Amino acid sequence: MAVLREGFGAAWPICMGFIPIGLSFGVLAQKAGLGPLQVLLMSTLVFAGGSQFIAVAMLGSGASLPAIVMTTFVVNLRHFLMGSALAVHLPRVNRWFLSLFAYGLTDESFAVNMARFRGEGWDRWRALTVNQITNATWIGSTVAGVYVGNLIPAGAFGIDYALTAMFICLFTFQLRERIHVLTAVVAALLSVTLFLVLPGNFYVIGASCGAATIGLLVKRLTKGRHHVPA
Amino acid sequence: MSLPDYLLLMVGMGAVTYLPRFIPLALLSRRQLPRWLADWLDLVPAAILSSIIAPILFATEKTRTLDLGRKELLVAVPTLLFALKTRSLAGTVVVGMALYWLAGMIMG
């Protein structure tokens, strides 16, 4: 019970964020012609807020299946890094636990669990509880949004901006050092340029890989003056 | 979209979402990434989020033209400041939505 209680204690701020976003997602999905079953399927099988919004937008604009899957892959590739960082805190843990844990790995659960793992009294079961509570909250709110969506007129309450606001906030969490700010600025310039000159969604992966590479080079060049590589 | 197509899409999206979450956990429990790759991956989240947001704020989606006078950009400034100040995801979403709603009523 202590595991559940402490897991919930850490998870509730994430749930606070997921409920309005999940409801907004349900509303947008419903407006795009998706039913509660389809939303339930997507939230259960995919469980990735940003990609789900993008997928609904792409479905609305008639994008092809490979294009949507590819974009989802690119948008969620960042979890590779988060999984790598979390692996340090889950040494010698068996595969079935990791496979269950990976299902609930999001930007938010990652941020909360990494912060908690650095302190005392946190273990993998509490971390898993955070992942699963936030997952259940997400599924519930997105499906609820489909029904609430019938009652809300288009554009009401600024719902169309929920995703952008969420990304803006997650974006600020990433600006930890100057190199991250520089990378973000380069990414923004590259992304807008690619968006204007190329069709499709290549701009996300193109600008991200380009900016991270430029950022890495800048980091190497500036640090090389002070440190001899190990 | 037909139901089989939709199911196929969900399985595809699910797989490409799940695998990047699972593979590093499964592989790296005892290993470490090469330094350059860890450093590169460390910059990827900031780059991805910036790449997603920037065109929404600075360009019109339908015509793919540069536009610096959009209410998306206008609202993004206080929303960004609020996020930096409070570091609250729920708060930022609510504030961003409220400001966007307000901007819609004023600017149309």
What confidence tens digit (pLDDT) does each residue in B20-45 have? 999 989 987 767 668 887 788 778 77
Average pLDDT over residues B1-8: 89
> Hey, are the CB atoms on B16 and A78 less than 8 Å from each other?
no
Query: pLDDT at residue A230 above 50?
Result: no
CA distance A80 to A101: 14
Q: Nearest CA to CA, how far is B39 from chain A (Å)?
A: 7
- Looking at mean pLDDT, say which of A137-141, A151-155, B61-65 comes out highest: A137-141
Each residue's pLDDT tens digit, A169-222: 878 888 889 999 999 999 999 999 999 999 876 787 789 889 999 999 999 998
pLDDT category at A227 given cuts 50, 70, 90 is low
Query: How confident is the model at residue A209, as a pLDDT?
Result: 87
Conformational region of residue A121, where left means phi above 0, alpha means psi within -120 to 50, and beta covers everything else: left
The share of chain A scoring above pLDDT 90, in percent, equals: 36
Residues of B numbered 67-86 whose beta carbons fall under 8 angstroms of chain A's beta carbons: which are they?
72, 75-76, 79-80, 83-84
Q: Cβ(A142)–Cβ(A22) under 8 Å? A: yes
Higher pLDDT pick, A156 / B107: B107
ipTM of the complex: 0.83
Mean pLDDT of all residues in A81-103: 85
Average pLDDT for chain A: 85
Q: Name the residue among B9, B65, B79 with its Cβ closest to that of A168.
A: B79
B36 vs B11: CA distance, rounded Å: 33
Report domain extents, chain B: 1-31, 33-107
Nearest to B29 by CA among A124, A213, A73: A124
Residue B2 DSSP SS3: coil
At B67, the amino acid letter reads D
Distance from CA of A3 to the nearest CA of B (A): 22
Where would I find the H helices in chain A? 2-31, 36-45, 49-60, 65-76, 78-87, 95-103, 107-118, 124-149, 162-174, 178-197, 202-223
